[in-house]
Amino acid sequence: MLQRKTVEIAQDTWLISEFNLVNSFLLVGSDRCLLIDCGLGLGNLLEDIRKITEKPVQAVLTHGHFDHIGGSALFETIALHPSDHAQFKRWYQELIETELLNQYIRTRLPVRDPQADPEELIGLPRNFGEYHLSVCEDGTVFSLGNREIETIHTPGHTQGSLCFLDSQNKILFSGDMCNEESLLLNFPDSASVKTYHESMQKIWQRSAEFEVLAPGHSPLKVFAKQLIQDYIRASAELVSGSVALESGQNTMHSGYKYQSGNILIWYDPAKLQ
């Protein structure tokens, strides 16, 4: 039977990988838990959580894209920045009504887990249903009893993108603002490259409070916070206007791209500023 891979990345802090496609993070406190992102909706994420803890769970989202919201109906409420509520509703309907999820599995899985069978994942049950959105904004603090998690609004990948800071364990949960493989700023609901750059600078101003990044897609590992500096550098180069246009395509993405060292940014040339 297919199972999610789960690893404890810090004390009472679990990375739950949805078959190497996308990450959720479970932060367990003395009174309650915080779940950051709820994946594509393949199988039952709540069952995996209950193998770790029986404590009440508050679910929050780093942003409203379909690959982070699929398990939303499993939880009493799902908190999200209001700027992403409209796109959440649109993407959720796409998951239910179209072949979007199947297409995502068939294109991403061969890259992120080449040994896995896409059709086996496609055959898993899905738990789409009624969801209840609530609001999470910059500065919102989630108290779990013996630990507090702070919300930081970081528009870029989407207008409502959020990062979550666990200063006690020195971890920043960065969603899709800072992934290893690439950064996507070419969605219609993405902010400008300049806005993204400013958000990353905002995060770096808090860098004394964390040591590692827990991103949305790199399976089963965290990254040194230096990755933020790499993205600050690359986005500054784009904003300067001195970068030549280059289009490209791979198995997962297409459009205009910019490679700077180890950083790859897909972006809209009309939204640099």
Q: Domain segments of the chain: what residues?
A: 5-179+192-225
Distance CA 84, CA 137 (A): 11
Identify which of 120, 231, 252, 112 has the alpha carbon closest to the alpha carbon of residue 183: 231
Mean pLDDT estimate for the chain: 95
| First vs last C-alpha separation in the chain | 48
CATH 3.60.15.10 holds for 5-179+192-225: yes
The predicted-structure confidence for 206-265, as pLDDT tens digits, reads as follows 999 999 999 999 888 899 999 999 999 999 999 998 898 999 888 778 899 999 999 999
**Between 4 and 56, where is the model more confident?**
56
Provide the pLDDT confidence category of residue 1 given band limits of 50, 70 and 90.
low
Whole-model pTM: value is 0.97
Task: Give, as one character, the DSSP assignment of residue 158.
Answer: S
- The full length of the chain comes to 273
Identify which of 80, 40, 33, 27 has the alpha carbon closest to the alpha carbon of residue 217: 40
Check residue 224 and give its pLDDT: 95
For residue 262, give the amino acid letter: N
The predicted-structure confidence for 135-194, as pLDDT tens digits, reads as follows 999 999 999 999 999 999 999 999 999 999 999 999 999 999 999 879 999 999 999 999
Task: Let me know the angle formed at the C-alpha of 34 by 29 and 35, rounded to the nearest 5 degrees.
Answer: 140
The sheet carrying 148-153 orders its strands as 141-143, 148-153, 162-166, 171-175, 212-215, 223-224
